[in-house]
Amino acid sequence: MSSYRVDITNPKIQNALKELGITPEELIVKDINEFFEPGISKKIQELRYEHHKQKLNSLSSSIQSYIKENHKERSRASSQTRSTISQYPNDVSTERISKQHKSSLAQKIEEESKRRKLLEIVNKKQNRRSLIEKQLKKEIEERKNKDEEKRKAHKERLKMIILEQIKKRKNISEKVTRNYSKTPEISIEENKSRMPSKIGSILEQKKERELEEEYQLLERLEFLNEKVEKSAELHEQMLKTKSERMSYHTQKIENKLHSISSTKEEMELNKAKSIVNNIIQKSLRRGKTIDDTNYRIKSTQDKLREKQLKIRHNLKEVTQQEKERIKNIENKLNISYESVRQKQASWLKDLEIKNELQKMKEEDVFESINRKKRIEEVKRSRILEKHSLIRQKLEALKEEKERYNEMKRHKALSEAIEKDHVRNLKSRIEKTKNLADASLLSSINCN
């Protein structure tokens, strides 16, 4: 058995319900468990229960206030009727009553015409109201459909954004692993988390620059090594050719010395010796410069090797730092992803609560509209009942008037008939008198 907030069996409450347009189903007391539905949160269930309690309180208070006002109006009406009965005179003439009837009939006819006009206005208003209600229902349904479409589109958009972020992170992690796998003596573990596009692109550009610089240095070192080796080989070949030329030249000079005997030849020989000495000194100087260049090349090679080792060491440190940075970025991204997920969840909860509140408001609006409809129907039925009573009274008054007029006519006719009868009697009496007189005269004359 369902329990009600108010005693429905009480006739006063029944009358109040009828007048206020409240149905008994609206006054049923429900438990919080009755508002449970699969797929809704506990907060929404509590909201619905609280809204139900508030609605019951407002309905019960409106019923009680109506009963009090109705009682006051009845007491006022009874006191007014008592005063009018005490003031009304006991002996009233028929003419006065007929005049009062006529005036009351005219007033009632005027009231009826006014009521009919009011009824027409009320009907027009109700038709307009029904049209407005239909339009409101349509607008509410359209708004609901639009809101549902917006929610669906927003959910799909969020899903698409999340999927795009996941894909971007996967692509960036794959690119980073490929680039690090190309570098010498470096191996990077596969990224478990997903990185955003901007950070991945910046890191990738940095790695590519460093790798390009390293490859350029290595190529330069190899080129310098090849150049040094070629210069050493050329130096040896030059030394061999010079020594061969010098030995050949000395033999030539010695042969000439043996052959030369004159002073001129001695002078030429001295000149030749000086030239040879100059050549030897030049060759010695050149050899010295070649040794210096070789030393410099070796020192530059050593420096380049040291630089290469430093670069490799720095690369290892940089890769380690980059790994740590990637881990930090991944942690930050995971934290941000969690916060976004939490915000999304809270936003969805708020949206659900807002939708539920909007739904409750719409339900209240529909209930108030239905209540007003019921009140209007009750008023209309009451007005129709009053009109039917007025018509009955008017018909009764018309019948009474017709009877009264018939009585008057009957009385007038009877009076006219009596007068005619009296006249006839008078004329007969006069005739008899005249006949008697004439007979007397004739008898007298005969005598």
Q: Look at the pTM and tell me if it is higher than 0.75.
A: no
Q: Are the beta carbons of 366 and 136 closer than 8 angstroms?
A: no
Confidence of residue 190 (pLDDT cuts 50, 70, 90): very low
User: Using one digit for the tens of pLDDT, what is the confidence trace for 375-395?
Assistant: 888 888 888 888 888 888 888
Question: Largest Cα–Cα distance of the chain, in whole Å?
Answer: 259
Contacts of 140 (CB under 8 A, 6+ apart): 362
Q: Which of 195, 193, 139 is nearest to 165 (CA)?
A: 195
Residue 397 has pLDDT above 80, yes or no: yes
Residue 15 has pLDDT above 60, yes or no: yes
Q: Count structural domains, the chain.
A: 1
Question: Is residue 45 one of the residues assigned to a domain?
Answer: yes
Confidence of residue 85 (pLDDT cuts 50, 70, 90): very low
Question: Is residue 20 one of the residues assigned to a domain?
Answer: yes
What's the mean per-residue pLDDT of the chain?
73
What pLDDT, on the 0 to 100 scale, is given for residue 91?
A: 41
Question: Is residue 262 one of the residues assigned to a domain?
Answer: no
pLDDT mean over 105-129: 74
Question: Is residue 40 one of the residues assigned to a domain?
Answer: yes
What pLDDT, on the 0 to 100 scale, is given for residue 195?
A: 43
Question: Is residue 61 one of the residues assigned to a domain?
Answer: yes
Question: Is residue 145 one of the residues assigned to a domain?
Answer: no
Q: Are the beta carbons of 27 and 55 closer than 8 angstroms?
A: no
Q: How many CA atoms lie within 13 A of 126 on its CB side?
A: 15
Question: Is residue 329 one of the residues assigned to a domain?
Answer: no
What pLDDT, on the 0 to 100 scale, is given for residue 63?
A: 84
Question: Is residue 58 one of the residues assigned to a domain?
Answer: yes
DSSP secondary structure string for all residues of 273-308: HHHHHHHHHHHHHHHHHHHHHHHHHHHHHHHHHHHH
Confidence of residue 119 (pLDDT cuts 50, 70, 90): confident
What pLDDT, on the 0 to 100 scale, is given for residue 153?
A: 77
Which residues span the domain enclosing 52? Answer: 1-83
